[in-house]
Amino acid sequence: MNGIIVVNKPKGMTSHQVVGKVRRILGIKKIGHTGTLDPDVDGVLPLCIGSATRIAEYLLDQSKAYKGEVTFGFSTTTQDASGEVVEQVDQVFLTEEQVNLAFSRFHGEIEQIPPAFSALKVDGKRAYELARQGEQVVLAARKVTIYSIEILHMDLSTDYPRVQFRVECSKGTYIRTLCHDLGRELGVPSHMSRLTRIRSGPFTLEMSHTLEELERAKEEGEIGRYLLSASVAVEYLPVYSVSDKQERRVLNGMEMTFPLVETFALAVGDRIRIESRSGKLLAIYRVVRVEDQEVFTKPEKVFKE
């Protein structure tokens, strides 16, 4: 079994636990996820099955989209609702104008300092492991991109106002840090009180399935209906379809030359995907030269069964 299954991860489970559960359901060991979700976060978790695990790195680089909620009034050690309270005020007064202005400042390329309770490594150890041991963890700021951020609903009438939002962002963006920084922008402590990932690369919440659905499909012998082609993960790459004869050359990792297609606007270093006539993903190639209306390529990754 090879391909991608999009799981609707439930709250209360780690991404690793979800992988373990799907391994048991499918009876397959070779399964990998494409970027962790915190236990309190639900939503889209694409799993690569079998030979499709080799496509995971291309999914990690793609953008993500979330629906979240920030609560103003207290902050936590983990910057979300699971942590211990570190700062709290009795009451928060915010206007719609203040909130709109604060959100508008988190658009485009921004700098974030990742949370201490994160999976990033410090001297070979996970930051959250050091933080749990009470060690002071200081991570370097890094640049991420917020492609869009939209306020969906504001409830500013309570002592601890809540704002629901939708955000599209680059890889490496911490939404809980975004919520924490929104509070700092407004001069009040804050934390992320809820988060759902609604898209990871090309995979959406509508394409996802619960663990219960997968278990039932396996029992009924219909699990194949939930398996997506690995090609879907890299559909953003220009595609060349090859003949049966060329397919053998591709699977043997040989250099390939293709006619230049103006709509692709290919340049040296760009990636392309190569598929069979039936639409099966065969390989990812890189452009090494463009000359005389021809594209010269070398294999980056070949997908043999």
Q: Domain boundaries in the chain?
A: 3-62+201-231, 64-200, 237-302
Q: Do domains 3-62+201-231 and 237-302 have the same CATH topology?
A: no
Classify strands 203-204 and 190-200 as parallel, antiparallel or unpaired: antiparallel
For 126, the enclosing helix (H) or strand (E) is strand 125-126
Which of these, 33, 82, 38, 47, lies nearest to 175 by C-alpha position?
38
Q: What is the pLDDT of residues 166-190, one digit of tens each?
A: 999 999 899 999 999 999 999 999 9
**Among residues of the chain, what percentage have pLDDT more than 70?**
92
Q: Is the pTM of this model over 0.85?
A: yes
* pLDDT band of 129, cuts 50, 70, 90: low
Assess contact for 192 and 176: CB atoms under 8 A: yes
* pLDDT band of 58, cuts 50, 70, 90: confident
| Averaged pLDDT, 212-222 | 94
| Averaged pLDDT, 282-291 | 92
pLDDT value at residue 265:
81
pLDDT at position 4 over 90: yes
pLDDT value at residue 264:
78
| Averaged pLDDT, 18-36 | 89
**Integer CA distances (angstroms), 118 to 115, 127, 141, 176, 214, in order:** 6, 6, 14, 11, 29
| Averaged pLDDT, 8-28 | 93
| Averaged pLDDT, 19-38 | 89
Q: How many helices (H) and strands (E) does the chain have?
A: 7, 18
- Domain 237-302 coded CATH 1.20.120.330: no
pLDDT value at residue 116:
64
Assess contact for 303 and 282: CB atoms under 8 A: yes
Q: Which phi and psi (to 5°) does residue 292 adopt?
A: 50, 45
Catalytic amino acids? Answer: 38
Assess contact for 175 and 68: CB atoms under 8 A: yes
Residues comprising the chain, all counted: 305
For 179, the enclosing helix (H) or strand (E) is helix 175-186
pLDDT value at residue 120:
60
Quickly tell me which residue has 């048991």 as its tokens.
Answer: 24
- Which class for 208: exposed (0-12), middle (13-18), buried (19 or more C-beta within 10 A)? buried
Which of these, 12, 5, 157, 148, lies nearest to 67 by C-alpha position?
148
CATH topology of domain 64-200: Pseudouridine synthase (3.30.2350)
In this structure, what token pair is assigned to residue 219?
A: 């029992």
Q: What is the dotted CATH code of the domain comprising 3-62+201-231?
A: 3.30.2350.10
* pLDDT band of 93, cuts 50, 70, 90: very high
**Among residues of the chain, what percentage have pLDDT more than 90?**
68
Mean pLDDT of the residues in the chain: 90
Q: What is the pLDDT of residues 130-162, one digit of tens each?
A: 556 666 667 678 899 999 999 999 999 999 999
Cα end-to-end distance, the chain, whole Å: 10
Q: Where are the beta strands (DSSP E) in 134-254?
A: 142-155, 162-169, 190-200, 203-204, 239-242
